[in-house]
Amino acid sequence: MIFTPYGLGELSLPNRIVMAPMTRSRAADGNVPTPLMAEYYAQRASAGLIISEGTQISQQGQGFAWTPGLHNEEQVAGWRLVTDAVHAAGGRMFAQLWHVGRISHTSLQPDDAAPVSSSALVSPGVKVYIDPDGRGPQHGSGEFVQHSEPRALLKDEIASVAQDFADAASNALKAGFDGVEIHGANGYLITQFIDSQANTRSDDYGGSLPNRLRFLREVTEAVIGVVGRHRVGVRLSPLASHRGLVDDTPLATYLGAAKVLDELGVAYLHIAEPDQEDVPDMPTAFKEALRLVFSGTLMFAGKYTLSRAEAALEAGWADLIAFGRPFIANPDLPARFREGWPLRDAERSHFFGGTDVGFTDYSNFQQS
Ligand SMILES: Cc1cc2nc3c(=O)[nH]c(=O)nc-3n(C[C@H](O)[C@H](O)[C@H](O)COP(=O)(O)O)c2cc1C
């Protein structure tokens, strides 16, 4: 079933294998995508859909060194190289729109300001990746440090952050992307509004579930207003205690979020399942419940193998399966699945920062 074509919005995907969004921290000065990144993504164009690495919607939205942005003309031009290369290789690509919220560091913020969040809460032990000596990604000399203490967004600033998402979505279309994925997962800004323990606000954006979902709703509406609902996906990570975030009633919270997104009619809901070894798997009953609440396309990611993916598609609660780490070391992953070739393991030390090594050089091994 994984090789059965799938219609997503106006796109026709040749298979149901999606490349999951993966930060690789190799953008050039000014957080501009490079020709090397274009080569990396084009090598993976046989995926039904590629979702880009997290791409900050504003300088304030950045939390890790050398991640690309989508908030100025140079960055749009850099991404144009990427999307042109992917399209020339026969692929399709969405941009993942990212605001990290509190998961940042003053050295990455405009004027060394404090990062922003729903509330002024620190998550002890949660780290960000910075460039302490300004040497750039090719030296791979980044360092993981505790995130900086955030300040709570003022109520009248929230609309301007939603507008930043919309502006970045508009830039994504200018850069040639086929659509955008709103990053509402993994403990970043949108999650910091949704999750009950991270959000202690007493205004319209905190407290009740509809209030905690208001920011997600407003961002999604703003992005839909620019690119159309058929070009918008949203990623959420229920049941993963990412970056110090825990919700008191995650099943109810995230079924509520799925309902909001269903009402808004987004093209897909992308569920990042827990992928850490020490977190239990997501119960199948919850995935089936999501299917009942959300009528659009459902995509799942997290430790999928070919056989788990086929089982999920057959069971009916998944339409598309996203693969992360397998795509790092196996640019030709769909062919490997189809031919039954073995998969290569990705080298962790090359995940973030560095050169072509562990990035584009896996393509030298097209077959086992
Ligand atoms: C190096 C690396 C970078 C990642 N960066 C992102 C990211 O930018 N945005 C995101 O939503 N998830 C990110 N993820 C999570 C993946 O999208 C995916 O959910 C996770 O790797 C589990 O899938 P897998 O078991 O197939 O690797 C990243 C994962 C890895 C390994």
Residue 284 lies inside a defined structural domain of this protein: yes
68 compared with 274, residue with greater pLDDT: 68
pLDDT on residue 240: 75
pLDDT on residue 364: 56
Whole-number Å distance, alpha carbon 54 to ligand 1 midpoint, is: 9
Per the structure, how many domains does the chain have?
A: 1
- The pLDDT tens digits of the residues spanning 254-286 come to 999 999 999 999 999 999 998 877 778 899 999
Residue 280 lies inside a defined structural domain of this protein: yes
pLDDT on residue 241: 66
- 237 in contact with ligand 1, CB cutoff 6 A: no
Q: Is the pLDDT of residue 366 over 80?
A: no
Q: CA angle 173-179-180, nearest 5°?
A: 100
Cβ proximity of 150 and 122 under 8 Å: yes
Burial of 21 (0-12, 13-18, 19+ CB in 10 A): buried
pLDDT on residue 263: 98
- What is the best residue among 17, 19, 23, 50 to mutate for testing ligand 1's pocket, by most ligand atoms within 8 Å of CB? 23
Choosing from 6, 40, 129, 188, the catalytic residue is: 188
Looking at the chain, the whole-number percentage of residues with pLDDT higher than 70 is 98
Pairing of strands 320-323, 17-19: parallel
Candidates 233, 272, 342; CA nearest to 22 is 272
HSE at residue 121, side-chain half, CA atoms within 13 A, is 18
pLDDT on residue 277: 77
Span 175-201, average pLDDT:
96
Q: What is the CATH number of the domain that holds 73?
A: 3.20.20.70
Residue 175 lies inside a defined structural domain of this protein: yes
User: Average pLDDT over the chain, rounded to whole?
Assistant: 95
Between 115-124, 135-144, 308-317, the lowest mean confidence (pLDDT) is in 135-144
Residue 179 lies inside a defined structural domain of this protein: yes
- The pLDDT tens digits of the residues spanning 308-322 come to 999 999 999 999 999
**Which whole-number Å values give the CA distances from 362 to 225, 332, 333, 356, in the listed order?**
39, 10, 11, 9
Span 52-73, average pLDDT:
97
From atom 4 of ligand 1, which residue's Cα is the shortest distance away? 22
Q: Is the pLDDT of residue 105 over 60?
A: yes
Q: Is the pLDDT of residue 81 over 90?
A: yes
Residue 112 lies inside a defined structural domain of this protein: no
- What is the best residue among 19, 22, 144 to mutate for testing ligand 1's pocket, by most ligand atoms within 8 Å of CB? 22
pLDDT on residue 97: 98
Residue 107 lies inside a defined structural domain of this protein: no
- The pLDDT tens digits of the residues spanning 212-252 come to 999 999 999 999 999 999 999 999 999 876 777 778 899 99
Span 132-154, average pLDDT:
86
Span 282-304, average pLDDT:
96
> How is residue 191 written in tokens?
């999650």
> How is residue 291 written in tokens?
């299917």
Domain that holds residue 43: 6-100+161-364
Span 182-210, average pLDDT:
96
Residue 10 lies inside a defined structural domain of this protein: yes
- 343 in contact with ligand 1, CB cutoff 6 A: no
- pLDDT confidence band for 133 (50 / 70 / 90): confident
Residue 355 lies inside a defined structural domain of this protein: yes
From atom 29 of ligand 1, which residue's Cα is the shortest distance away? 22
**Which whole-number Å values give the CA distances from 154 to 30, 45, 217, 235, in the listed order?**
28, 42, 18, 25
From atom 6 of ligand 1, which residue's Cα is the shortest distance away? 22
From atom 3 of ligand 1, which residue's Cα is the shortest distance away? 22
pLDDT on residue 318: 98
pTM of the model: 0.97
> How is residue 120 written in tokens?
């002024």
- The pLDDT tens digits of the residues spanning 87-101 come to 999 999 999 999 999
Task: Identify whether 188 is a catalytic site residue.
Answer: yes
